Amino acid sequence: MLANLHPRVIAPGHGRPLAGAEVEQKLPQLAAEYSADHATGLEPGAGLAAA
């Protein structure tokens, strides 16, 4: 999983790069919710709306 690399900067395919210690802390949560969304058929990232 990408989160295991403990990145401090993420450059998405669109939008601005994300940087800082918070990126490393929240990436595992994002990955887990993204995987869960795909398993349930929800729109990717829909689980982050409540965060």
Q: What is the pLDDT along the chain (51 residues), one digit of tens a residue?
A: 677 878 888 888 888 888 888 888 888 888 788 776 666 665 655 555 544
Q: How far apart are CA 41 and CA 22, in angstroms?
A: 28
Residue 18: what pLDDT?
Answer: 85
pLDDT (0 to 100) of residue 30: 81
Q: What is the mean pLDDT of the chain?
A: 74
State pTM to two decimals. 0.48
pLDDT given for residue 51 in this prediction: 46
pLDDT of residue 44: 57
- Contact between 37 and 49 under an 8 Å Cβ cutoff? The reply is no
Q: Name residue 24's amino acid.
A: E
What is the rounded CA–CA span in Å between residue 41 and residue 15? 24
Q: Which helix (H) or strand (E) holds 15?
A: none
For residues 8 and 19, the answer to whether their CB atoms sit within 8 Å is: yes
